[in-house]
Amino acid sequence: MSDSALPMPGGGVRDVTPERPSTGHTVAGYPVRETFLEKAHSWVVTVDHKKLGIMYIVYSLLFLVVAGIEAMVIRIQLAVPHNTFVSPQVYNRVFTMHGTTMVFFVGMPILIGFANYLIPLMIGARDMAFPRLNAFSFWMTALGGILLYYSFIGGVGLSNAGSAPDVGWFAYAPLTSKAFSRGHSTDYWALSLTISGVGSIGAAINMIATTICMRCKGMTMFRLPLLAWLYVVQAALILVAIGPLTAAQIMLMVDRYLGGHFFDTQAGGSAYIWMHFFWIFGHPEVYVLVLPAFAFANEIIPTFSRKAIFGYPAMVAASVAIGFVSLGVWAHHMFTVGMTSVSNAFFALSTMLVAVPTGIKIFNWIATMWGGKIRFATAMIFCVAFVFQFLISGLTGIILSVAPVDWQLHNSYFVVAHFHYVLVGGILFTIFGAIYYWYPKMTGRMLDEKLGKIHFWIFLIGFHLTFDFMHIPGFLGMPRHIYTYEPDRGWNTLNMIVSCGAVFQSVAIAIFVYNLVYSYFKGAEAGADPWDAWTLEWATTSPPPAYNFATEPIVGSRRPLWDLKHPDDLDSQWE
Amino acid sequence: MSAATPAIPHGATNLPAKDSPWILPSKGKVGMYCLIFAETTIFAIFVVAYIYYIGRSPFGPQPKQVLEVPILASICLLSSSLTIWLAERALHKRAMGQFSLWWGGTIALGLVFMIYTVLEWKKLIYEDGLTVSTNLFGTTYYCLVGLHAFHVIVGLIMLSLTLLFGFMGKLEARHTERVEVLSLYWHFVDAVWVVVFTVVYIVGR
Amino acid sequence: MGDESGPGDLPPVLKDEAVPNLRSRDDRGSEAAVVFPIKRHALRGIAAVLFSALLSAHAYAIPQGTSVFSRDATPASGSFSLQLFVYTITIGIFIVVGSLGAYAVVKFRAKPGDEKAEPVQIFGSNQIELSWTIIPVLIVVVLFLTTARMIFAIQDTHEPGNSIKVTAIGHQFWWEFQYPQYGFTTANELHVPVSDPKDPTPTYLKLGSADVVHSFWVPRLAGKTDMIPGHPNEMWIDPSKPGMYEGQCSQFCGTEHAKMLLRVYVQSRTDFDAWVKNQQTDAVATEEQGKRVFESQACINCHAVKGTIANGRYGPDLTHLMSRDTIAAGAAENTPDNLRRWVENPEVFKSGSNMPAMNLTPEQLTQVTAYLATLK
């Protein structure tokens, strides 16, 4: 089999037939199917970026379901005022776990999983720069998630119904000190995130080193697919952002276990400095989550509009600009903590400024579709919805950047609606799009388009029911992180509508999961290039062989397959 | 493997010539720079916390009372950057005896630094009564200096392993780049000490 | 800043009018929105416009409980004017960009049978890209200047000499209010005098915390300000209409964060002075049996009753408990029955509250409740 013939740089092949080939072994010369145990073993010990990418994605989808159930618990509790579906103690754990899980064990891993899968393929490389570091990073992230969920039973013992973290996903000091959080819940929070943070840094190092050092011949940085550019910026942000979080968590654990005083106001420490450290991490973190959403849109929208992305250099510049500016906006989460008027004004300005490159990207996507011949495959309609929804969420972000307005709306349901609009309406929609787009490449089978459209419409209705109406209780004074609310504030009907939308979203996700599983066995065969696309991952089989490309590709423009399909209209003459 | 793999054209006019050079940066170096970048941010937060908390311990030993400027130890550590550079130069010339000398010297200087740190902490803990929980100064001091010391220890372990490989004759020419990557890390550790030294022993006293 | 504005002053640009030079953008956008046929993706843009209309109609139709659309005090009013300005800008941008997007999605769909030829490949346009960089920058500049002006107007005001001073301290899960000018402490329900715009008597609050981070938010009067231990903050309100204004803690502070409710009673000057006078008096000593129970059980470890030996600071001051409409920081109405149930077992109203059940006998409960009922 060609799997045992490894092409060498500079020509020739090397025979790498393993003693026990991982894709099957023979008995008396006849190939015998791998046992399940052998197959599982090959996944556990793999350093192949494709397998690790798929593991990241499957892991995240499992946690998506878990965190989605947590969201349903929240919405059931809040559907009517003074509800007793869960106690305040349980509710506080559920909303903390929902936020922490979604950010660290759904968002980050699924996006890093796509990066792992796609970047080497898109740059014509055989694997990531550091395959073993890749595997290490995955397993650290996985361990973090398991440790976090172990907290439900591990902290105080089963008889006490566990002690998952209940301090909110940003865990403000001194609520997290031993004085106010007496059990182990905060420790699970800090430790699990520190461990997965190591995994994230490993993944980021890999992404940058791969993109800079492993590009195939002819692929200059300015011929990189925009997805690769956005992941470079995202990886750089991970490197900048995770450090402060790790440092702050180390400080928290020193306080809790070694009697330290970092956040001990009695001893001169400061609760306020935790806020700075956390948000110095927290704000770039949300850009870590959103830049890959842009990456997916940058690949999907051109393919289905049948046009090159409009303004490639501007898109690169805007992405880099977003990365830089996003490092200087963190205190817009702290407009209400009593900073000086000059500080508040500075952070209002920097936050407004980040809207400029972000807006440019939105205009470029619309301009890409303009004059095209748009095909509304499921992947595309998710990205079209993303463009509109991301526009709205950017605008509510502008509303919040006006500090005196934020003094009212901070920590209210307006903010919850705003960031869910970005995370769900922006990021999750493009993740769905990416799955519909690249699932054929990963599995060799197409996802069912009819089920996909049903998934889209039901999810869209649910999303808008929940998150459009969620802005209103914010305007009406409803703060976040509350397990119940007073019935005479005018929030009742709105909360009920919001909760109903969650039901639609759950149904849609169920249909989506069914589609994923059904299509794996019964989906139509995909072939190498089902979407008639232009980047290198479509130049190899679906799924790709272990070594990705039989010979190292050589490229002459940003769209190597366009050049191949249109030899009379090479891209490079226009770039 | 189902449909035939489309071939990448080699005759199209916009492709680079087959034998033209295609040099990309070394992934080991890029990876180490990224790691250094990430570590810098962790140190930066501890430095910021240290600076913010200068003078804010309402009780307990204060820096001026208990800290002695570690001049000798710092000279040792910073000189080890010079010795490691000399070791690298020797390695490039494949002068393995010289390499072992300078590399071993680097380790020795690093060890002197660590021994000094241990002695300093012994004095602080047992004579001055300063621990991580004594007061805010204790907390910030031990965390910042300790984080740096931890990085020195990791570095010393890696350097020692390399020296061992050198003695065993296993350090081949193709490993030179990995040695360079490791020295990058060591230079980083020294650079951090410059900052920590300034903040703790000069600004903070 | 050298800004001389005081409470009641708003920067002139932000009084009620919509900003005129945005009209042309609105008009262009809304014409385009009406003309082309309603297709599924265009619906999204129209729905959003309808939604924002619905939103404003809904908000003004409900009783003004805790809405941020308020002119009842200068900080809220300043925020509200700025809100109208930024809503206009953002809705305008949404209409323009959304319409263009909707148009593109409808107009440029692939026609069936026309899949062979690819459309003309356009890689960019310097002029277009420059203009859609410069216009947003200009919008940001305008928005920032108006924002900065309002920040300074609200934060850097100079405190007039006749302001009421209150020290508000957040606890898990109740509010302590000290009136240093009058020498008394109360809890949970803040009383302030109405402030006449012509002769303002604002209330200046110093905000602190006894334990974790809380946040003081009464939307109709002002934006929220956090109460951070070791980091005192200041805010001010000058309510112009008497009434009862509700709010609640807005920074997650623990199990019963949701039940840390807040009331501000804005009274006429005479009523306020009468209330102050009452709060300054010591407790009247009747109901001796209940008082004995109160003082011999551990109640006095946490609670204070002025004029008696009870001097605890951990829980709310009870000297004039009966002058309040609610108990447990708004978790229940202040009725004798609720009071008895609360003292018997705080879990009933607030299961994570720091007040323990004292395990009193029914007879002790009756006596203590009767005593508390005398603390007017």
* Minimal C-alpha gap between A387 and chain C (Å): 8
- pLDDT exceeds 90 at position A29: no
Q: What whole-number distance in Å separates Cα of residue A289 and Cα of residue A423?
A: 8
Q: Chain C: residue nearest A371 by CA?
A: C108
Which of A408, A470, A472 is the best mutation test for C, with the most CBs of C within 10 A? A408
Interface of B with A in 64-123 (CB under 8 A): none
pLDDT mean over A355-359: 94
* Minimal C-alpha gap between B45 and chain A (Å): 6
Residue C206's pLDDT is: 97
Domain count, chain C: 2
| Interface membership of B44 toward A (CB under 8 Å) | yes
Q: Is residue C29 part of a domain?
A: yes
Q: Is residue C332 part of a domain?
A: yes
H or E stretch covering A27: strand A25-27
The verdict on a CB contact (< 8 Å) between A247 and B16 is: no
Residues of B in contact with A247 (CB under 8 A): 41-42, 45-46, 49
| Interface membership of C257 toward A (CB under 8 Å) | yes
- Adjacent-strand bridge partners of C174: C171
| Interface membership of C55 toward A (CB under 8 Å) | yes
The verdict on a CB contact (< 8 Å) between A528 and B57 is: no
Residues of C in contact with A271 (CB under 8 A): 212-213, 228-231
User: For position C335, which CATH number holds?
Assistant: 2.60.40.420
By the 8 A CB rule, do A488 and C263 touch?
A: no
**Three-class SS state of C192:** strand
Q: What whole-number distance in Å separates Cα of residue A365 and Cα of residue C104?
A: 10
* Minimal C-alpha gap between B101 and chain A (Å): 31
H or E stretch covering A25: strand A25-27
Residues of A in contact with B40 (CB under 8 A): 243
Amino acid identity of residue C72, one-letter, is D
Residues of A in contact with C79 (CB under 8 A): 404-405, 407-408
Q: Is residue C22 part of a domain?
A: yes
* List of E strands, chain C: 164-171, 174-179, 184-187, 189-193, 203-209, 214-216, 225-227, 233-237, 243-248, 261-267, 326-327, 332-333
Q: Is residue C147 part of a domain?
A: no
Q: Is residue C222 part of a domain?
A: no
Residues of C in contact with A163 (CB under 8 A): none
- pLDDT exceeds 70 at position C74: yes
Residue B205's pLDDT is: 87
Residue A8's pLDDT is: 61
The verdict on a CB contact (< 8 Å) between C258 and A88 is: yes
pLDDT mean over A507-535: 96
pTM: 0.90
- Adjacent-strand bridge partners of C262: C247
pLDDT mean over A370-393: 97
Residue C27's pLDDT is: 35
Average of per-residue pLDDT values in chain A = 93
Q: What whole-number distance in Å separates Cα of residue C130 and Cα of residue C128?
A: 5
Would you call the peptide bond into C173 cis, given omega within 30 degrees of 0 as the criterion? Answer: yes
Q: What whole-number distance in Å separates Cα of residue A105 and Cα of residue A110?
A: 8
Chains that touch B (3 or more CB pairs under 8 A): A
By the 8 A CB rule, do A346 and C159 touch?
A: no
Phi, psi of C272 (to 5 degrees): -60, -45
Give first-to-last CA distance, chain C, whole Å: 46
Residues of A in contact with B9 (CB under 8 A): 563-564, 567
Interface of B with A in 122-161 (CB under 8 A): 131-133, 135-136, 138-140, 143
Among A559-573, C45-59, C140-154, the range scoring the smallest mean pLDDT is: C45-59
The verdict on a CB contact (< 8 Å) between C68 and A314 is: no
Q: What whole-number distance in Å separates Cα of residue C204 and Cα of residue B193?
A: 48
pLDDT mean over A398-408: 97
Q: What whole-number distance in Å separates Cα of residue A543 and Cα of residue A3?
A: 13
Which of A163, A402, A494 is the best mutation test for C, with the most CBs of C within 10 A? A402
Q: Choose one of C5, C37, C53: the last residue of a domain.
A: C53
pLDDT mean over C278-297: 87
Average of per-residue pLDDT values in chain C = 84
pLDDT digits (tens, 9 = 90+) for A306-347: 999 999 999 999 999 999 999 999 999 999 999 999 999 999
pLDDT mean over A184-199: 94
| Interface membership of C250 toward A (CB under 8 Å) | yes
* Alpha-carbon distance values, C289 to C104, C284, C286, C335 (Å): 81, 14, 9, 21
| Interface membership of B49 toward A (CB under 8 Å) | yes
Residue A9's pLDDT is: 57
The verdict on a CB contact (< 8 Å) between C62 and A270 is: no
Residues contacting residue C165 through CB under 8 Å, at least 6 positions apart: C179, C180, C181, C203, C204, C206
- pLDDT exceeds 90 at position A200: yes
- pLDDT exceeds 60 at position A30: yes
Higher local confidence (pLDDT), B1 or A408 = A408
A270, A271, A407: residue with CB nearest C79:
A407
| A99-112 CB burial, b ≥16 within 10 A, e <16 | bbbbbbbbbbbbbb
Which of B39, B45, B188 is the best mutation test for A, with the most CBs of A within 10 A? B45
Q: Is residue C41 part of a domain?
A: yes
Task: Map out the domains of chain B with their CATH numbers.
Answer: 27-203 (1.20.120.80)
Q: What whole-number distance in Å separates Cα of residue C33 and Cα of residue A36?
A: 58
Q: Which among B47, B43, B12 is positioned nearest to B200, based on CA atoms?
A: B47
B2, B56, B143: residue with CB nearest A268:
B56
By the 8 A CB rule, do C263 and C325 touch?
A: yes
DSSP string, A296-354: HHHHHHHHHHTSPPTTHHHHHHHHHHHHHHGGG-GGGG-TTS---HHHHHHHHHHHHHH
pLDDT mean over A365-385: 97
- pLDDT exceeds 80 at position B7: no
In chain A, the percentage of residues whose pLDDT exceeds 70 is 93
A250, A251, A267: residue with CB nearest B135:
A267
Chains C and A touch (3+ CB pairs under 8 A): yes
Residue C46's pLDDT is: 52
Residues of B in contact with A267 (CB under 8 A): 57-59, 135-136
State whether ipTM is beyond 0.90.
Answer: yes
B1, B3, B37: residue with CB nearest A545:
B1
In chain C, the percentage of residues whose pLDDT exceeds 90 is 71
Residue C19's pLDDT is: 33
Residue A161's pLDDT is: 44
Q: Is residue C331 part of a domain?
A: yes
Instruction: Count A/B contacts: CB-CB distance under 8 Å.
Output: 172
- pLDDT exceeds 70 at position C47: no
Count the Cβ atoms, other than its own, within 10 Å of residue C301.
Answer: 12
H or E stretch covering A461: helix A449-469
Residue A420's pLDDT is: 98
pLDDT digits (tens, 9 = 90+) for B107-137: 999 999 999 999 999 999 999 999 999 999 9
By the 8 A CB rule, do C157 and C73 touch?
A: no
The band of C17, judged by pLDDT with boundaries at 50, 70 and 90, is: very low
Chains that touch A (3 or more CB pairs under 8 A): B, C
Q: Which domain holds residue C36?
A: 17-53
pLDDT digits (tens, 9 = 90+) for B10-20: 445 678 888 88
pLDDT digits (tens, 9 = 90+) for C76-120: 999 999 999 999 999 999 999 999 999 999 999 998 887 678 998
Q: Output the six-digit token pair for A480.
A: 């976040």
Give the long-range contacts of residues A459-462, CB within 8 A, separation 24 or more.
A459/A432, A459/A504, A459/A505, A459/A508, A459/A509, A459/A512, A460/A385, A461/A501, A461/A504, A462/A501, A462/A502, A462/A503, A462/A504, A462/A505, A462/A506, A462/A507, A462/A508
Interface of C with A in 132-171 (CB under 8 A): 132-133, 136-137, 140, 143-144, 147-148, 150-152, 154-156
Count the Cβ atoms, other than its own, within 10 Å of residue A298.
Answer: 25
Q: Is residue C100 part of a domain?
A: no
B15, B58, B143: residue with CB nearest A268:
B58
Task: Map out the domains of chain A with their CATH numbers.
Answer: 49-565 (1.20.210.10)
Residues of B in contact with A548 (CB under 8 A): none
DSSP string, A469-518: HTHHHHHTTPBSS-S---TTSS-HHHHHHHHHHHHHHHHHHHHHHHHHHH
Q: Output the six-digit token pair for C171.
A: 């606890």
* Residue linked to tokens 């323009």: C96
| Interface membership of B23 toward A (CB under 8 Å) | no
Q: Choose one of C8, C26, C53: the last residue of a domain.
A: C53
Residue A4's pLDDT is: 59
Q: Output the six-digit token pair for C147.
A: 């924002």
Higher local confidence (pLDDT), C16 or B69 = B69
Phi-psi region of C230 (alpha: psi -120 to 50; beta: other; left: phi over 0): left
pLDDT mean over A72-85: 97
Which of C69, C83, C151 is the best mutation test for A, with the most CBs of A within 10 A? C151
